[in-house]
């Protein structure tokens, strides 16, 4: 089955700096890659996603890039703010019935004011 690895597990940045989180996947059949943000004590919430027919997608300060050949995708947060502090999860899924998402183990991002 699919295996998603996520790095780093923890990340501290100064407010205003950029943060990058990287994920790799093993199964070339995966074609949908969402990113979730989970604040302490709250539920995961989708922040951005990308499909395999697109190389990059941006939404304000957040961007995701996908390299299908290398089987990796990354989350980029620019101009970080303290409210960006949370755990971020990447995930991958294939286009098949059953809606199974394979998640990375999470990155705990701390933005230092």
Partner 1 sequence: KAGVTQTPRYLIKTRGQQVTLSCSPISGHRSVSWYQQTPGQGLQFLFEYFSETQRNKGNFPGRFSGRQFSNSRSEMNVSTLELGDSALYLCASNRDGDQETQYFGPGTRLLVL
DSSP conformation class of 83: G
Nearer to partner 1 by Cβ, of 19 and 106: the residue is 106
Please report whether residue 112 would count as binding partner 1 according to CB under 8 A.
no
Residues 71-100 that bind partner 1 (CB under 8 A): 89, 91, 93, 95-100
Nearer to partner 1 by Cβ, of 12 and 45: the residue is 45
Nearer to partner 1 by Cβ, of 20 and 102: the residue is 102
Cα Rg of the chain, angstroms: 14
DSSP conformation class of 82: G
Provide, rounded to whole angstroms, the least separation between the CB of residue 19 and partner 1: 18
Contact 52, 29 (CB under 8 A): no
Q: What do you get for the CA distance between the two ends of the chain, in Å?
A: 41
Check whether the bond before 8 is cis (ω within 30° of 0).
Answer: yes
Beta strands 107-112; 56-59: pairing state: unpaired
Please report whether residue 113 would count as binding partner 1 according to CB under 8 A.
no
Please report whether residue 102 would count as binding partner 1 according to CB under 8 A.
yes
User: Looking up tokens 């027919």, which residue turns up?
Assistant: 53
**Footprint of partner 1 (CB under 8 A):** 1, 6, 31-32, 34, 36, 42-46, 49, 89, 91, 93, 95-106
């Amino acid at each position: 089955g699919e295996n998603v690895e996520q790095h780093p597990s923890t990340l501290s940045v100064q407010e205003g700096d950029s943060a990058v989180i990287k994920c790799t996947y093993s199964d070339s059949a995966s074609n949908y890659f969402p990113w979730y943000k989970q604040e302490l004590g709250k539920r995961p919430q989708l922040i951005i996603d990308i499909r395999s027919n697109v190389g990059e997608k941006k939404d304000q300060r957040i961007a995701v890039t996908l390299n299908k050949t290398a089987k990796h995708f990354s989350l980029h947060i620019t101009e970080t703010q303290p409210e960006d502090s949370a755990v971020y999860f990447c995930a991958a899924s294939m286009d098949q019935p059953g809606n199974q998402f394979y998640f990375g183990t999470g990155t705990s991002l701390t933005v230092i004011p």
